[in-house]
Amino acid sequence: MLRTMRKLPMSALKLTSLCSEHACFRKTKIRVLSLTWQNTGQRNYSYSPDVKSLRSVVNPHISRIRNIGIMAHIDAGKTTTTERMLYYSGYIRTLGDVDDGDTVTDFMVQERERGITIQSAAVTFDWNDYRINLIDTPGHVDFTLEVERCLRVLDGAVAVFDASAGVEAQTLTVWRQADKHQIPRICFLNKMDKTRASFTYAVESIKQKLKTKPLLLQLPIGEAKTFRGLVDIVTKEQIIWKPTSDMDDGKHFEQKPLLETDDPNLFQEVQDARNTLIEQVADLDDEFAELVLGEYSENFDLIPADKLQSAIRRVTLAQKAVPVLCGSALKNKGVQPLLDAITMYLPAPNERSYEFLQWYKDDLCALAFKVLHDKCRGPLVFIRVYSGSLKPQSAVYNINKSCTERISRLLLPFADQQIEIPSLMPGNIALTVGLKQSATGDTIVSSKASAVSAAQRAGRDTGRGRRSSSDVESLLLAGVEIPEPVFFCTIEPPSMAKQQDLDNALSCLQREDPSLKVKLDPDTGQTILCGMGELHIEIIHDRIKREYGIETYLGPLQIAYRETILNAAQATDVLDKTVGDKRHFVTTELEVRPRLVDRAMTKPAIEYAESVIEVLPKDLQGAIENGITNSCIQGPLLGFPVQYIDVTVQSLTMHPDTSHTMVSACVSRCLQKALKKAGIQVLEPLMNLEITVSEDHLSAALADLAQRRGSVQEIQSRQDNRVVVAAVPLAEMMGYSTVLRSLTSGSATFTLELASYQALNSQEQSALLQRKMGLV
Ligand SMILES: Nc1nc2c(ncn2[C@@H]2O[C@H](COP(=O)(O)OP(=O)(O)OP(=O)(O)O)[C@@H](O)[C@H]2O)c(=O)[nH]1
Ligand SMILES: [Mg+2]
């Protein structure tokens, strides 16, 4: 990613450990664990919001809670907007800046150094008697999973846009994720102060690219350098930010009705925009349509603002349209109306419907969605409660891990500081201390008995009388799909003595970040790190050094290829082994076929011949499927995972004493044989590439792309820039950021995202084989 790395001298910045200090607020029994900079030159975050607001924060009524995510393309201004929200709601006393590395939510050292968000950070604050649990998510494509697992537990989202760029590549990705989780959204057109900022362009781009209906709730007053405020179309009030004598922090603004005499043109524009808004909403909401066509058909001006607002709320919750607001977070304009819109138009937790809640009645049902490792307190697990309540010092049951664990403390997150709370009610999000086994995506209930009775209710509802494993599965709240990594490299500790420490660090990091995979190379015994991109692996490497004090060595970054088959083939295998006094005897016959359709699924599709399914005991099916899945982890040609294959188990006979492990082993070996016979085809990751480049440098970027086996699909215009949309093999993109930077004098940016896997031609495949075998 070519973005200006906003470096700052970090040598002086050191975080005290999270557990090192805490202040006691005796009156309220609420403890605030605080964090300070050890450098006198830096801001001090000793956090002491007033006690009254903290009290109301502990357990607000569910209708007054908003669980919100901020999502967008990299650099759109999510963290800057979040920082302003915290400032205006009174939770920080000075404004931090991403470029100075002192915002609340970008608190990791790597984030502060690089000026980018790497992990999502949760903050809690109050706005006008509403409690907002907000998660600031990263925009870099390598951390897409981080966004999705947060969206999974949120009820609404704010999509932030750079008003000079409109919809950018990663916004499209996270927008689709929000669609998948059916999350109502608001759009915030940020950076209205920027040269080339264009409200009209950004709105058009939302319409075209996101295929959604934008509801314009505001119009900007001025654009770029002249941007100074906005008009609320619903109330027809103008809001102007005027710097006060010494401060320009945007706290103070003037809000008054817009009169025709103030600006006749703007007045007319607002009038037209309001009529359009009313028509749009009436088209989408019958209740409002009745009102508009009845009482107010003669004069839309008389429609009360609150009626229009309620209708906008209904269509937003039903995801029929998306309210659009604008502002400039950096210049402190437009954030307070955005906060009002969050409370007004986005849903409370009880306005979202979750089918599984009926099975729990009022029993606890919660989802663990993020894990952080704290050196002193061990794993801190973020939990969203859907029903029932959680208390400190209580035991809970993890359905995924089938284990009972104990929660010792409950904390409200405020970026890297936490406030201890006595209970957690439905719809709320908090951090738990004490859970040792629970990981991202696990479902937490009060006890095993509660899980069993919920499973029975689920079984009854779905028409199955008896409890089966699928009932338990239906109790598991869907986690997020973890994409397969595209890059890998070896990682070596400085000495063998440090291997154990490294293994420990990696297992902690994996619990925090499920997109990081760690494997052992069976041939060399080396540890292999697999990640989502170059930046992802670089950050992990850096964290191992800084957080775990281990200086590791990374091997060269390699592409995670895949293997598939060219033809159908059959194989048989016999396993005959006597262990102790038991004879294990299995024979099996398998057929493999290339899967040409339904390539969304990468795992093997497994079928059984009629003759097998009739006699196959149910519990043996798991062993067979394990054998097939294990065999697909390492393909027979280069050891890359095998995908896009269908497998039919044509026969399986066994001696009654045979263990399931032996059945798995025999099936696995038989499949390897069949795969070899079927002819292996190597697949390479094909990436969607989007380059934003000025007209002057377009031809240089295109010429370079042609050298990289890239195929240009489209060249779009984005204001004065061009956006090249292309598909290019990942193998050709190593070190691309440096090349593009020098070709375009640092003016271009790009994003890269996995599109699909494509077959290598036979020359490329044999060249790759030779390289892997060290022949060239
Ligand atoms: N001109 C202008 N710049 C802004 C505005 N908001 C943010 N920026 C700048 O844009 C850059 C990125 O801001 P961030 O808040 O880090 O953006 P982000 O969306 O959180 O970025 P990632 O988390 O890394 O995806 C910084 O240099 C900000 O100072 C704005 O309203 N106007
Ligand atoms: Mg950020």
Positive or negative torsion for Cα 343, 139, 424, 181: positive
- Residue 30 pLDDT class (50, 70, 90 cuts): very low
In short, whether 146's Cβ falls inside 6 Å of ligand 1 is no
Instruction: Tell me what percent of the residues of the chain surpass a pLDDT of 90.
Output: 52
Residue nearest to atom 24 of ligand 1 (CA): 116
At residue 215, φ and ψ (nearest 5 deg) are: -105, 110
Gap from CA of 80 to ligand 2 centroid (Å)? 7
Above 50 in pLDDT, residue 84? yes
Above 70 in pLDDT, residue 37? no
233-276, pLDDT tens digit by residue? 999 999 999 876 567 889 889 999 999 999 999 999 999 999 99
724-751, pLDDT tens digit by residue? 999 999 999 888 888 898 898 878 888 8
In short, whether 117's Cβ falls inside 6 Å of ligand 1 is yes
Residue with tokens 């750079």: 162
Interior/surface letters 419-429, b for 16+ CB within 10 angstroms, e for the rest: bbbeebbbbbb
Gap from CA of 486 to ligand 2 centroid (Å)? 24
User: What three-state secondary structure class fits 474?
Assistant: helix
Least distant ligand from the CA of 116: 1
Structure tokens at 566: 């060219």
Lowest mean pLDDT segment, chosen from 37-51, 434-448, 610-624: 37-51
User: How far out from the chain centre does Cα 386 lie?
Assistant: 20
Lowest mean pLDDT segment, chosen from 36-40, 547-551, 679-683, 736-740: 36-40
Give the ranges where 60-168 is alpha helix by DSSP (H).
Answer: 78-88, 109-114, 144-151
**Contact partners, residue 209, CB within 8 Å, separation at least 6:** 166, 167, 172
Contact 231, 239 (CB under 8 A): yes
In short, whether 118's Cβ falls inside 6 Å of ligand 1 is no
More reliable by pLDDT, 46 or 105: 105
In short, whether 377's Cβ falls inside 6 Å of ligand 1 is no
In short, whether 442's Cβ falls inside 6 Å of ligand 1 is no
Return the pLDDT at 415. 54
Residue nearest to atom 9 of ligand 1 (CA): 77
Spatial distance between the Cα atoms of 231 and 306, rounded to a whole number of angstroms: 17
Q: Which parts of 195-333 are beta strand (E)?
A: 214-216, 218-221, 229-232, 237-241, 253-257, 322-326
**Of the candidates 505, 513, 511, which has an alpha carbon nearest to the alpha carbon of residue 548?**
505
Full DSSP string of 619-672: HHHHHHHHHHHHHHHS-TTTSPPB-SEEEEEEEEEE-TT--HHHHHHHHHHHHH
In short, whether 80's Cβ falls inside 6 Å of ligand 1 is yes
Gap from CA of 603 to ligand 1 centroid (Å)? 39
Contact 313, 344 (CB under 8 A): yes
Gap from CA of 137 to ligand 2 centroid (Å)? 6
Return the pLDDT at 101. 83
Residue 79 carries which side chain, given as an amino acid letter? T
- Residue 486 pLDDT class (50, 70, 90 cuts): confident
In short, whether 190's Cβ falls inside 6 Å of ligand 1 is yes
562-600, pLDDT tens digit by residue? 999 999 999 999 999 888 888 899 999 999 999 988 777
Return the pLDDT at 474. 57
Rounded mean pLDDT, 4-27: 26
Pocket mutation for ligand 1, best pick of 1, 5, 75 (most atoms within 8 Å of C-beta): 75
Above 70 in pLDDT, residue 465? no
At residue 103, φ and ψ (nearest 5 deg) are: -85, 160
Return the pLDDT at 58. 63
Gap from CA of 191 to ligand 1 centroid (Å)? 8
Number of H helices, E strands in the chain: 21, 35
Return the pLDDT at 192. 97
Gap from CA of 522 to ligand 1 centroid (Å)? 44
404-460, pLDDT tens digit by residue? 999 999 988 765 567 888 888 888 888 899 998 888 888 899 998 888 888 877 766
Above 50 in pLDDT, residue 312? yes
Pocket mutation for ligand 1, best pick of 85, 86, 98, 146 (most atoms within 8 Å of C-beta): 98
In short, whether 138's Cβ falls inside 6 Å of ligand 1 is yes
Spatial distance between the Cα atoms of 47 and 141, rounded to a whole number of angstroms: 32
Spatial distance between the Cα atoms of 435 and 534, rounded to a whole number of angstroms: 32
In short, whether 191's Cβ falls inside 6 Å of ligand 1 is yes
Average pLDDT score over the chain = 85
Atom nearest to 81 CA in ligand 1: 15
- Residue 96 pLDDT class (50, 70, 90 cuts): confident
Return the pLDDT at 667. 95
Residue 217 carries which side chain, given as an amino acid letter? L
Rounded mean pLDDT, 67-84: 94
In short, whether 113's Cβ falls inside 6 Å of ligand 1 is no
Structure tokens at 717: 């215009």
Spatial distance between the Cα atoms of 80 and 101, rounded to a whole number of angstroms: 11
In short, whether 82's Cβ falls inside 6 Å of ligand 1 is no
Return the pLDDT at 29. 29
Above 60 in pLDDT, residue 110? yes
Above 90 in pLDDT, residue 299? no
Above 60 in pLDDT, residue 648? yes
In short, whether 77's Cβ falls inside 6 Å of ligand 1 is yes
Atom nearest to 160 CA in ligand 1: 19
Residue nearest to atom 4 of ligand 1 (CA): 330
More reliable by pLDDT, 360 or 404: 404
Return the pLDDT at 48. 43
Return the pLDDT at 38. 27
- Residue 317 pLDDT class (50, 70, 90 cuts): very high
∠ Cα 581 586 591 (to 5°): 165
Gap from CA of 113 to ligand 1 centroid (Å)? 15
172-225, pLDDT tens digit by residue? 889 998 998 899 999 999 999 999 899 999 999 999 999 999 999 999 999 899
Gap from CA of 330 to ligand 1 centroid (Å)? 7
**Of the candidates 631, 634, 632, which has an alpha carbon nearest to the alpha carbon of residue 523?**
634
- Residue 19 pLDDT class (50, 70, 90 cuts): very low
In short, whether 66's Cβ falls inside 6 Å of ligand 1 is no
Instruction: Tell me what percent of the residues of the chain surpass a pLDDT of 70.
Output: 88
The maximal CA–CA distance of the chain, rounded, in angstroms, is: 100
Return the pLDDT at 551. 94
Lowest mean pLDDT segment, chosen from 345-349, 701-705, 747-751: 747-751
Spatial distance between the Cα atoms of 449 and 451, rounded to a whole number of angstroms: 5
Structure tokens at 589: 């016959």
Interior/surface letters 505-531, b for 16+ CB within 10 angstroms, e for the rest: bbebbbbbbbbbbbeeeeeeeebbbbb
User: What three-state secondary structure class fits 215?
Assistant: strand
Least distant ligand from the CA of 162: 1
Above 70 in pLDDT, residue 553? yes
Least distant ligand from the CA of 97: 1
Residue nearest to atom 7 of ligand 1 (CA): 77
Contact 18, 376 (CB under 8 A): yes
Gap from CA of 670 to ligand 1 centroid (Å)? 55
User: What three-state secondary structure class fits 191?
Assistant: coil
Q: Which parts of 495-644 are beta strand (E)?
A: 517-520, 527-531, 553-554, 558-559, 562-565, 569-579, 582-594, 605-608
**Of the candidates 167, 553, 133, which has an alpha carbon nearest to the alpha carbon of residue 343?**
133
503-522, pLDDT tens digit by residue? 999 998 988 888 899 988 87
Return the pLDDT at 467. 41
Gap from CA of 80 to ligand 1 centroid (Å)? 6
